[in-house]
């Protein structure tokens, strides 16, 4: 009885393998293969935009791109994935600096093989250089949190609750801390560790607000905490009465900004992090260069890239050191341009 079952399973798997293998690129660079490694758990919706971006970059540059992540968001597993990328001899590797210490050693495996490296998302320019990366595309978490906190302080806010759906992540904590430091309050006392389950997030936020009715503001660290927090506020009749700030974007967040239940969102334009990382690696490979200025100059003249920017109304921030993807604040004034592509390309 068991033999047919095994055969069916085997055949099913083999078919799936050939099906996925068939989606290869064509053209002069079709044999080039790049990888982008993130620290995010599978359930993190934010990285979907990056995934879409690297697919489009792969199409525009005619190369193949893999996306890899540790399913549980465990950074030690991410380190193994970076080592694995080196062993596989990719033509270029991009990853986010979720934690410098954890990734420093695996990054050496990549750079020792002279594989071009680009870092994205969290982490700083200095860390990126120490890792031997060509460039860093992202926004520093602490500074972004602080900028948002200063904006809130200007609006008269003095206390807040930080809804942290990823309490085990160092970057998430820095966002809270930046905001708290701007207001001059204790980050740990303002933090609600919620986990990712939306029901639990919602209940914990309402419980916190019942216990601390004087809370003036809510800081959500991403759609995973913003969406259920908003729901909690609506159920309690507090929507629009509490100053609500969130990191990143989702359909519910866009909707909240339109209705006025969310005051503003801090957007780091993830699309640019994914797209520019792959584009830079492809250019570095084609021109055999490691000079960020030359790569960015060539990217600026790329027609496909410019048309993507126009299509999704994205504005990369070109600096002396390279290029940043954010931060940008999304408010009622500019929400409509962002709304159309929220969660997919914005």
| Residue 80: CB minimum distance to another protein, A | 6
**Closer CB to another protein, residue 40 or residue 254?**
40
| Residue 334: CB minimum distance to another protein, A | 31
Residues in Cβ contact with 307 at an 8 Å cutoff, skipping those fewer than 6 apart: none
**Closer CB to another protein, residue 109 or residue 153?**
109
**Closer CB to another protein, residue 253 or residue 281?**
281
User: Residue 246 pairs with which residues in a beta bridge?
Assistant: 220, 265
* Cα separation, 78 vs 95, whole angstroms: 9
- C-beta of residue 60 within 8 angstroms of C-beta of residue 279: yes
| Residue 332: CB minimum distance to another protein, A | 34
Query: Is it true that the peptide bond before 327 is cis, omega within 30 degrees of 0?
Result: yes
- H-type helices in the chain, by residue range? 2-21, 47-61, 75-87, 100-112, 125-130, 141-154, 170-183, 198-211, 223-236, 251-259, 270-287, 292-300, 303-312, 335-339
| Residue 333: CB minimum distance to another protein, A | 35
**Closer CB to another protein, residue 133 or residue 254?**
133
Residue corresponding to tokens 């995934």: 51
* Cα separation, 82 vs 181, whole angstroms: 34
| Residue 25: CB minimum distance to another protein, A | 11
| Residue 97: CB minimum distance to another protein, A | 13
**Closer CB to another protein, residue 94 or residue 253?**
94
**Closer CB to another protein, residue 40 or residue 299?**
40
Interacting residues with another protein (CB under 8 A) = 2-3, 5-6, 9-10, 12-13, 16-17, 20-21, 24, 42, 64, 66-69, 71-76, 79-81, 83-84, 86-89, 99-102, 104-105, 109, 112-114, 167-170, 172-174, 177, 187-188, 193
Q: Using alpha carbons only, how large is the chain's radius of gyration in Å?
A: 21
């Amino acid at each position: 009885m068991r033999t047919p079952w095994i055969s069916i399973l085997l055949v099913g798997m083999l078919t799936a393998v050939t099906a996925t293998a068939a989606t290869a690129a064509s053209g002069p660079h079709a044999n080039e293969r790049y990888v982008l490694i993130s620290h995010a758990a599978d359930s993190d919706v934010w990285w979907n935009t990056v995934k879409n971006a690297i697919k489009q970059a792969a199409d525009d540059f005619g190369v193949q791109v893999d996306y890899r992540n540790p399913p549980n968001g465990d950074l030690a597993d991410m380190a193994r994935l970076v080592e694995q990328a080196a062993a596989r001899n990719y033509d270029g590797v991009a990853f986010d600096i979720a934690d410098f210490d954890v990734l420093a050693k695996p990054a050496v495996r990549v750079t020792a093989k002279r594989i071009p490296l680009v870092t994205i998302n969290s982490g700083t320019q200095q860390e990126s250089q120490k890792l031997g990366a060509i460039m860093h595309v992202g926004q520093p978490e602490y500074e972004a949190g602080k900028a948002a906190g200063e904006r809130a302080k200007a609006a008269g806010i003095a206390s807040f609750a930080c809804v942290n759906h990823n309490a085990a992540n160092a970057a998430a904590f820095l966002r809270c801390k930046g905001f708290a430091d701007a207001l001059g309050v204790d980050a740990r006392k303002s933090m609600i560790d919620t986990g990712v389950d939306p029901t639990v997030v919602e209940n914990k936020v309402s419980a916190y607000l019942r216990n601390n009715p004087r809370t003036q503001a809510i800081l959500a660290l991403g759609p995973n905490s913003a969406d259920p927090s908003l729901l909690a506020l609506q159920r309690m009749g507090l929507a629009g009465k509490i100053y609500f700030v969130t990191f990143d974007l989702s359909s519910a967040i866009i909707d909240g900004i339109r209705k006025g239940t969310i005051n503003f969102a801090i957007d780091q334009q993830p699309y640019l992090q994914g797209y520019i990382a792959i584009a830079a690696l492809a250019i570095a490979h084609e021109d055999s260069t490691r000079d960020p200025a030359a790569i960015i100059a060539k990217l600026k003249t790329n027609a496909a890239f410019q048309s993507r920017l126009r299509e999704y109304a994205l504005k990369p921030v070109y600096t002396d050191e390279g290029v940043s993807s954010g931060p940008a604040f999304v408010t009622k004034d500019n929400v409509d341009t962002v709304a159309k592509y929220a969660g997919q390309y914005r």
